[in-house]
Chains A and B, each alone.
Chain A
Amino acid sequence: MAYLEMIDIVKRYPGVLANDHIELCVERGEIHAVMGENGAGKSTLMSILYGLQSPDEGYIRFKGSTLLLQSPLDAIAHGIGMVHQAFKLFESLSVWENVVYRREPRRGIFIDGARARAQVEELARRHGLPIDPTARVANLPVGVRQRLEILKALYRDAQILILDEPTAVLTPAEVVTLFAVMKSLAAAGCTILLVTHKLNEVMAVSDRITVLRNGRVAERLVTAHTNPTEIVRAMTGQQTGPLRAKQPREPGAILLETQGLVVEQHGRRVVDDVSLEVRGGEIVGIAGVAGNGQSELIEALMGLTPVAFGVVRIAGRDLTRGSVAEHRAGGLSYIAEDRARTASAATASAADNLAMGFHRAPPLARNGLLRPAAMREWARSLIERFDIKVASTETAVGTLSGGNLQKIVTARELAHNAPVLIAEQPTRGVDVGAIAFIHGELLKERERGRGILLVSAELSELLELADRILVMYEGRIVAEFARAAADEATLGLYMAGGRRA
């Protein structure tokens, strides 16, 4: 009998069978990867294991006895801990306070701070998770916050640790550290469930893999006996060919240019003296850990945020102080990072979402009046061209999957035929099929001579698509590489601020 078993788990949501008779078997001390595309059912399965959801059918067996989990408190009581993608920490409190919260060692009615600190220190030392117990969480880098989340779970005697997309926010160096921690925890008898969609990480750290597809187990694999191609096939159910080799191309005229760009927020320079140029027919990548000024740089380029100093020129015109409409008219289109909050209106129809920006001029409008038939036709043609799975042009886009919503956004922004495209995290959280499609479209646009500025947290994406890669750290561009000269290790070093140009 396995250490942990999830047996015959079924979970239905209105219109969706999220988990369809799933069986998951995990042995003590193994690192078990749970993989699958978005919507495959990984999150549902893990939230059932952590007591956030109760299954409609099926049950969990742990160490030979059946668990009935009503809430995460039950899960924690049974030794199941979870580190969520978005950390759940009190920023204004110290590390030890976060760790012992609601399980404080006491002396009378008071918290025994000295003993708590000592306990946290001892725990950190024993598991090889160096951390200063008195540090304030707000001052900690992301990688250390994650370490703190793991400590919180271990302090509660977690024997099973669920890590949900743990590397999404980390630098490559922090990822290496995390993997070392995971391996040492596993060696010490802790069982780790790793939820991810990144192939290289699964190959590097896991012992076994359960692949989910459409709410069912598609494949159970032993990492040592499989390869990325086999995993992708299990995830998508189809053979995917390698991406077309990219043609080298002579870059054209400068289409987007900044000089000494500075953006200030709360008296801090979040974008600091950035000069860059994007030429026609090239993809310029911006690498960096989230929160190093990339978003603010893009917002400044679009006119969404004011520029303190410096110049933005689009197709030769100075648009430093222009409105968003002027930037768009001047030749920018923009796939925004947050497709649900910024780049679409969830309750509006597909037709309305696709018409945004085209609603003032023919063919969708004439003399300030909309032409509903033309709007529907426009939506239909884009839906067909981008193979978007949506019930009708009048369906609210909030009901679409991440990949299909991203295709709506991509379709609209590409349809502008603007000389410059800014693509910010264009494939984050979308399924493998949609990623391949969007990458293909970006490469096609490059072939057509468009200038593309690609911001991505996925180094593999940048290395695959970009002609040049700039690295941003603390608001500055600290390095620039031609693609041939770039590799993950070097980029990672600059992303972590390890070296300055």
Chain B
Amino acid sequence: MTVAAELRSQLARHLGQALPVLGAVAVGFAVCGLIALWVGLKPGLMFVELIKGAVEGPQLFETVARAVPLVGMTLAAAIPLRAGIVNLGADGQLALGGCAAAIVALYLPAPDIVRLVAALAAGMAVGAAYAALAAAGEIYAGVPLLLSTWLLTYPAKGLCGFLVRTSLRDPSTAWPSTARIAVGARLGSLIPGSPVNRGFLLVAVVAIAVIFIDRRSSIGFELKLRGLNERFARYGGVDLHRQTLGVMLASGAIAGLIGAIMVLGSQFRYTDGALTAPQYSWSGTLAALLAGGEPVGSVVAAVLFAALQTGGFAMERSVEIPRVLTMVLQSVVILFLAMRGAIWKRP
């Protein structure tokens, strides 16, 4: 057993994982090209516009700005998924985190910078606590996490909607929302003249931390092995309940932080439904699924999705190709990946 043999087998493993993904992406593009041809569009033009719309000039910043919440929500989905757990309640944790951040940033009697930091912390704490509630439901009452996370989304969104229609309502706006947060308590712009705010840095730090913990820590080891074989993890002495709780706390904290970043960095107020309308948690779950919860792959998939989405918007504006095609592309890629078990593992 030489170092060379080990390297070769590692390389083979990574290639083995990457090939199906690249294949699925290629098939996705091919299917979309065929659809474009069929309805009389030029697939070449479509792809050029899509790519230009994602990365050309200021569009690149649009993509980055979109990638910030999308990467965050992807990580919120990927951490549980790594252990084979699904958090379907990220929307609720996102909304509550954003709402809590808005309240703190608006009403905490403290200097601006303190309010900002406290608002971010509040977003994380509330998101984490709400996710932990779902975990507790499974651990102590036997409610499957899939159900408890999902169902708890509605009370969370409902509570935030109620607050911004009643006590927190800013009467000067047409849509139910809070008042605007003072400039000093906002997350400022990172690149002047672009929509990229300092939330980018926070998400980057979170992503690096998640990747590091996943690869190098004992916690990450236990998470990965539970995902590979839960019975083995239990047999080896991993406390599954405690791990579930920890995973949900981390996932909810990230979702809550993203809510806070969206409120403090780009919307500057909590508006009913505004955090969940772009369906970042949904795209994030798909991106995490694409990578099987592995954090580096998840982040890459999330950035790819962000580029597809901004590219899709731009394509629709410039050449009037409906951006639903980019959603078709995403779906086809995922479907083909889900098929890889049948296609790629056949002896």
What chain B residues lie within 8 Å of A348 (beta carbons)?
A: 224-225, 228-229
**Which A residues from 316 to 341 make CB contacts under 8 A with B?**
323-325, 328-329, 334, 336, 341
A314 to chain B minimum Cβ distance, whole angstroms, is: 14
Does A464 touch B at the CB level, under 8 Å?
no
In the complex, A336→B228 CA distance in Å? 18
Per-residue A-contact encoding for B1-39, CB less than 8 Å = 1, 0 else? 100011001100100000000000000000000000000
A370 near B10: Cβ-Cβ < 8 Å: no
Does A369 touch B at the CB level, under 8 Å?
yes
B229 near A341: Cβ-Cβ < 8 Å: yes
Does B237 touch A at the CB level, under 8 Å?
yes
- Grouping DSSP codes into helix (H, G, I), strand (E, B) and loop, the A interface class, with mixed when no group exceeds half, is loop
In the complex, A391→B9 CA distance in Å? 9
Given contacts A370-B216, A392-B9, contact A356 B234 (CB under 8 A): no
What chain A residues lie within 8 Å of B218 (beta carbons)?
A: 359-360, 365, 368-370
B216 near A392: Cβ-Cβ < 8 Å: no
A410 to chain B minimum Cβ distance, whole angstroms, is: 14
A325 near B239: Cβ-Cβ < 8 Å: yes
In the complex, A359→B237 CA distance in Å? 11
Does B219 touch A at the CB level, under 8 Å?
yes
Given contacts A343-B232, A391-B1, contact A368 B217 (CB under 8 A): yes
Per-residue B-contact encoding for A344-358, CB less than 8 Å = 1, 0 else? 111110001001110
What chain B residues lie within 8 Å of A241 (beta carbons)?
A: none
A327 to chain B minimum Cβ distance, whole angstroms, is: 8
In the complex, A394→B217 CA distance in Å? 18
**Which B residues from 182 to 224 make CB contacts under 8 A with A?**
216-222, 224
Does B57 touch A at the CB level, under 8 Å?
no
Given contacts A369-B217, A395-B9, contact A342 B222 (CB under 8 A): no
Does B144 touch A at the CB level, under 8 Å?
no
Q: How many residues of A contact B (CB 8 A)?
A: 40
Per-residue A-contact encoding for B316-331, CB less than 8 Å = 1, 0 else? 0000000000000000
What chain A residues lie within 8 Å of B221 (beta carbons)?
A: 352, 355, 359, 370
Does B142 touch A at the CB level, under 8 Å?
no
B235 near A343: Cβ-Cβ < 8 Å: yes
Does A242 touch B at the CB level, under 8 Å?
no
Does A110 touch B at the CB level, under 8 Å?
no
**Which A residues from 152 to 183 make CB contacts under 8 A with B?**
none
What chain A residues lie within 8 Å of B228 (beta carbons)?
A: 345-348
Does A101 touch B at the CB level, under 8 Å?
no
Does B238 touch A at the CB level, under 8 Å?
yes
In the complex, A302→B9 CA distance in Å? 36
| Complex: chain A residue closest to B228, CB-CB | A345
**Which B residues from 149 to 198 make CB contacts under 8 A with A?**
none
What chain B residues lie within 8 Å of A304 (beta carbons)?
A: 234-235
In the complex, A391→B8 CA distance in Å? 11
| Complex: chain B residue closest to A336, CB-CB | B235
A299 to chain B minimum Cβ distance, whole angstroms, is: 10
Does B111 touch A at the CB level, under 8 Å?
no
Given contacts A345-B232, A370-B221, contact A393 B238 (CB under 8 A): no
A352 near B5: Cβ-Cβ < 8 Å: no
| Complex: chain B residue closest to A324, CB-CB | B237
In the complex, A119→B238 CA distance in Å? 56
| Complex: chain A residue closest to B219, CB-CB | A368
In the complex, A323→B241 CA distance in Å? 11
Per-residue B-contact encoding for A16-48, CB less than 8 Å = 1, 0 else? 000000000000000000000000000000000
Instruction: Indicate the member of B5, B13, B221 with the most A CB atoms within 10 Å.
Output: B221
In the complex, A390→B237 CA distance in Å? 25
Does A147 touch B at the CB level, under 8 Å?
no
What chain B residues lie within 8 Å of A391 (beta carbons)?
A: 1, 5, 9
Among B13, B217, B220, B232, the residue within 8 A (CB) of A356 is: B232
What chain B residues lie within 8 Å of A395 (beta carbons)?
A: 9
What chain A residues lie within 8 Å of B278 (beta carbons)?
A: none
A334 near B216: Cβ-Cβ < 8 Å: no
A345 near B238: Cβ-Cβ < 8 Å: no
Per-residue A-contact encoding for B230-245, CB less than 8 Å = 1, 0 else? 0111111111000000
What chain B residues lie within 8 Å of A345 (beta carbons)?
A: 225, 228-229, 232-233
What chain A residues lie within 8 Å of B233 (beta carbons)?
A: 345
Does B347 touch A at the CB level, under 8 Å?
yes
B141 to chain A minimum Cβ distance, whole angstroms, is: 17
B232 to chain A minimum Cβ distance, whole angstroms, is: 5
Given contacts A369-B216, A392-B9, A394-B6, contact A357 B237 (CB under 8 A): yes
A96 to chain B minimum Cβ distance, whole angstroms, is: 39
| Complex: chain B residue closest to A302, CB-CB | B235
Q: Give A residues with C-beta under 8 Å from B.
A: 13-14, 302, 304, 323-325, 328-329, 334, 336, 341-348, 352, 355-357, 359-360, 365, 368-370, 372, 376, 380, 383, 390-396
List, sorted by A's number, 16 A–B pairs whose CB atoms are closer than 8 Å. Answer: A302-B235, A324-B237, A324-B239, A341-B231, A346-B228, A348-B228, A359-B218, A359-B222, A365-B218, A368-B219, A369-B218, A370-B220, A370-B221, A393-B1, A394-B9, A394-B10
User: What 6 A-B pairs are tightest by C-beta distance, nearest first?
Assistant: A345-B229, A325-B237, A345-B228, A356-B236, A392-B6, A345-B232
Besides A352-B224, A368-B218, 4 other CB < 8 A contacts?
Answer: A304-B234, A324-B237, A348-B228, A372-B216
